[in-house]
Chains A and B, each alone.
Chain A
């Protein structure tokens, strides 16, 4: 696909989906919804680990799994890079 074709498709796309104006605002104050969300989650969240440690722990576990898979199956590296 050459540059002209790309430009034509980009132009068609811009004609079909015009950009949204930057000053769009929500129709309502979202803070009450945020409070409801926080209250609902804190009532149901398991407390076996302090919340601030959970994401860090999960990140390291995920990283370890990826390193393990790459070490065992080096041919998966291009696939991994594709999805990054």
Chain B
């Protein structure tokens, strides 16, 4: 996300529609990319981008221009994604059409991958987001913690709990990691 002039940020904070549109156009791709990393579904990421900017629009009076737009938007987007994951827990799938790095090990059988994906989709949404960003996307702990609005220690704890639950679920499915 690029830096924007303080004039646009101040105007947005005062509720100026043109400033909101400028920020939307400037940040929609970055917000969409962030949401796609979390929900891993194109259609949902598009809907959530609109939802995120709606929440941003509603909260403009609380925005602090001195703290910048990017981190604030990312926190709101993460919260929107968390709400979506909570509402769609049984429907979460892992579509194969997402652009991804070609690092898949052929030694891991498709059946095992399916079981891992299933176990991962069953994680509590808060833990799942932390694990997605920190383990799958391999983002720095500080960045993940800021997006989740928690400390780095709390973020590490969430990842640890996610991994522990994942191991238990895999063991129940007959997979010993």
Instruction: Write the B1-17 contact mask toward A (1 if CB under 8 angstroms, else 0).
Output: 00000000000000100
Contact of A38 among B57, B131, B135 (CB under 8 A): B57
Measured CB to CB, the closest approach of chain B to A63, in angstroms, equals: 14
Contact yes or no, A20 B46, CB < 8 A: no
Q: How many angstroms between the C-alpha atoms of A52 and B12 in the bound complex?
A: 13
Closest chain-B Cβ to A41's Cβ sits at a distance in Å of: 7
State whether B163 touches A34 (Cβ < 8 A): no
Partner of B177, one of A12, A24, A31: A12
Answer whether residue B87 sits at the interface, using C-beta atoms and an 8 A cutoff: no
Residue among A10, A15, A38 making CB contact with B54, cutoff 8 Å: A38
Closest B residue to A19 by beta carbon equals B137
Q: How far is the CB of A67 from chain B (nearest CB, A)?
A: 19
The total of Cβ contacts below 8 Å across the A-B interface reads: 125
In the bound complex, residues from chain A placing their C-beta under 8 Å from that of B132 are 17
Which residues in B have their C-beta under 8 angstroms from that of A1?
163-164, 167
B153 CB, nearest partner CB in chain A, Å: 12
Chain A contacts of B51 at CB under 8 A? 37
Tell whether, in the assembled complex, residue A34 and residue B53 are in contact, meaning their CB atoms are under 8 Å apart: yes
The yes or no answer to B103 lying at the interface (CB within 8 A) is: yes
User: A47 on the interface (CB 8 Å rule)?
Assistant: no
**Chain A residue contacts of B50, Cβ below 8 A:** 30, 33-34, 37
Interface pair A56/B167, CB less than 8 Å apart: no
Among candidates B49, B61, B120, B160, residue contacting A30 with C-beta atoms closer than 8 Å: B49
Number of residues of chain B lying within 8 A (CB) of chain A: 55
A49 CB–B CB distance under 8 Å: no
Residues of A within 8 A of B32 (CB): 24-26, 30
**Contact across chains for A51 and B58 when beta carbons are under 8 A apart:** yes
Residues on A facing B (Cβ under 8 Å)? 1, 5-6, 8-10, 12-28, 30-31, 33-34, 37-38, 41, 51-53, 55-56, 84
Q: Can you name 25 A-B pairs with beta carbons within 8 Å?
A: A5-B167, A6-B163, A9-B177, A12-B108, A12-B116, A13-B135, A15-B104, A15-B105, A16-B113, A16-B117, A17-B120, A19-B100, A19-B101, A20-B99, A21-B100, A21-B101, A24-B36, A26-B28, A27-B42, A27-B46, A28-B46, A30-B32, A31-B25, A38-B57, A55-B58
Residues of B with Cβ closer than 8 Å to A? 15, 21, 24-25, 28-29, 32-33, 36-37, 40, 42, 45-46, 49-51, 53-54, 57-62, 94, 98-105, 108, 112-113, 116-117, 120, 131-132, 135-138, 150, 154, 160, 163-164, 166-167, 170, 177
